[in-house]
Amino acid sequence: MEQRLRRQSTAPLPLMSGVTSSMNSPREDSETPALLDEIRALRRERNAVILAHNYQAPAIQDVADYVGDSLGLSQAAAKTDAAVIVMCGVYFMAETAKILCPDQTVLIPDRDAGCSLADSIDVEQLRAWKREHPGALVVAYVNTTAAVKAESDYCVTSGNAEAVVRSLPADREILFLPDMFLGAHVERVTGRKMHVWMGECHVHAGIRPDEIEKRRAANPDADLLIHPECGCTTQMLWARSAGTIESTDSYVLSTEKMLSHARESSKSRFLVATETGMLHRLRTELPEKQFAAADPGAVCRYMKMITPRKLRDALRDLAPQVEVEPEIAKRARVAIDRMLEVPATQPSRE
Ligand code: SF4
């Protein structure tokens, strides 16, 4: 693991002290108010709900009915009675919404909005892995395709992975996929040996614990806030439990807890370790505080494929629609329901 971390590319290191004023500047957005009005009108006409992930562009977050992490989005989808659900996120999130809401129309504004972590294992690879370990239990992070979930026993978030693994019988082998950082972290904190798939998220290439420590050293008055959502931050969980990231003045927090921490803190500056889309809400709600990305290069290009124009077109054309084969949906639902049942021991939910 150390070797793997060392060989990753080095992003430029704009220290917070030099970037905070520009980091808190108003969003640059070329979308016209007329386009956003059109989206709102189409939403009413279609009886639609717009769900947006925390990593979406500011304009998408602003026009959405709900903004949250992947677990929160699943829960919001499960609750809505809207005829149309538009998932502004990546494809596996739209699949999960369709599995939970089979009778509603689920749209994703760009069908190519994938996830490099989910794509690091396909169903044939998983079946071959299972054949090598007959009788093993399969624990899949939520960032997986519906077909992979259908072959898994448990679906987990970063928040409940530890609790799920602790609950499994000691005499069963465990196959943990696809995130090697989350797997290594869970192994460390539970002491449970697992077989871990060596998958990772491309955004990892921009988040390096050693560089984050350098930024912290240059900004000793700032707290480090880590949001344990999505594969781009599981490396931070791993580094913190390994001691590579100092735990002093660093906090693993959900979005809501990040907001209350910053609101109540006597500090005025915060480094945020997650995909940069998360900064929008923090800055909007607490304009008097300074938030900077712990790594400004941590941008998920798949999340940013969703644009207001594509969202407008999806609502207008009711396309692209997301479908999941009923048999796959039925089996994946078992693993997803288990994910929704186990309480988080880490704050991965809204
Ligand atoms: S940040 Fe990484 S894990 Fe999250 S959606 Fe993007 S590619 Fe997938």
Q: Which residue from 54, 90, 119 has its CB within 8 A of the most atoms of ligand 1, so it is best to mutate?
A: 90
Residue 13 pLDDT greater than 80, yes or no:
no
Give the pLDDT mean for 218-246. 79
- Residue ranges of the chain assigned to CATH 3.40.50.10800: 2-21+203-293, 33-113+303-317, 118-202+326-341
Pocket probe for ligand 1: among 93, 120, 203, the residue whose CB has the most ligand atoms within 8 Å is 203
236, 278, 302, 306: residue to mutate for ligand 1 pocket, most atoms within 8 A of CB: 302
- How many A from CA of 218 to the centre of ligand 1? 28
Q: Name the average pLDDT for the chain.
A: 85
Q: In Å, how far are 52, 210, 255 from 290, measured between CA atoms? A: 24, 22, 16
Is 290 a residue whose pLDDT tops 90?
A: yes
Q: Rounded to whole angstroms, what are the CA distances from 343 to 107, 156, 167, 204, 337?
A: 29, 10, 12, 27, 12
pLDDT band at 31 (very low <50, low <70, confident <90, very high): low
The percentage of the chain sitting over the pLDDT mark of 90, rounded to a whole number, equals 59
Name the residue with the closest Cα to ligand 1, atom 4: 230
- The least confident of 15-19, 278-282, 345-349 is 15-19
Which atom of ligand 1 is nearest to 115's Cα?
8
Task: Give me ligand 1 centre to Cα 230, in Å.
Answer: 6
Residue nearest to atom 8 of ligand 1 (CA): 115
Q: How far is the CA of 237 from the centre of ligand 1 (A)?
A: 15
Instruction: Say which residue the tokens 């530890």 belong to.
Output: 162
Closest ligand 1 atom to Cα of 301: 6
Find, among 331, 349, 98, the residue nearest to 230 by Cα.
349
Compute, in angstroms, the gap from residue 350 CA to the centroid of ligand 1: 18
Q: What is the mean pLDDT of residues 87-116?
A: 97
Q: Which pLDDT band holds residue 208 (cuts at 50, 70, 90)?
A: confident
| Residue 92, pLDDT score | 97
pLDDT band with cut points at 50, 70 and 90 for residue 231: low
Of 51, 146, 68, whose CA–CA distance to 104 is shortest?
51
Distance 231 CA to ligand 1 centre (A): 6
Q: Check pLDDT > 50 for residue 150.
A: yes
Cα distances (Å, whole numbers) of residue 331 to 147, 151, 157, 314, 335: 9, 7, 18, 28, 7
Q: Which atom, in ligand 1's list, is nearest to the CA of 118?
A: 8
Higher-scoring residue by pLDDT: 305, 297: 305
Query: Given a cut of 70, is residue 192 above it in pLDDT?
Result: yes
Element (H, E) at 317: helix 308-317
pLDDT of residue 28: 40
Is the per-residue pLDDT at 345 higher than 70? no
Domain 33-113+303-317 matching CATH 3.20.20.70: the answer reads no
Task: With cut-offs at 50, 70 and 90, classify the pLDDT of residue 30.
Answer: low
Chain position carrying tokens 């259908």: 150
Query: Which residues approach ligand 1 with their CB closer than 6 A?
Result: 90, 115-117, 143, 201-203, 230-232, 275, 300, 302-303
Whether the predicted pLDDT of 17 surpasses 50: no
pLDDT, average across residues 119-137: 97
The alpha carbon of 300 and the centre of ligand 1 are apart by a number of angstroms equal to: 6
Q: Which among 87, 112, 200, 275 is the best mutation to test ligand 1's pocket, defined by most ligand atoms within 8 Å of the CB?
A: 275
What is the predicted pLDDT for the residue at 242? 78
In this model, does residue 107 exceed pLDDT 60?
yes
Mean pLDDT of 100-116: 97
Instruction: Determine the average pLDDT of the residues in 217-234.
Output: 81
CB 49 within 8 A of CB 86: yes
- For residue 23, name the pLDDT band (cuts at 50, 70, 90): very low
Q: What is the mean pLDDT of residues 241-256?
A: 78
pLDDT of residue 6: 26
**Which atom number of ligand 1 is nearest to the Cα of residue 89?**
5
Q: How many CA atoms lie within 13 A of 311 on its CB side?
A: 34
Architecture of the CATH domain 118-202+326-341: 3-Layer(aba) Sandwich (3.40)
Query: CATH classification of 2-21+203-293, choosing from 3.30.300.160, 3.40.50.10800, 3.30.1360.40, 3.40.50.150?
Result: 3.40.50.10800
- The pLDDT confidence band at residue 124, using thresholds 50, 70 and 90, is very high
Whole-number Å distance, alpha carbon 232 to ligand 1 midpoint, is 6
Residue 32: predicted pLDDT: 85
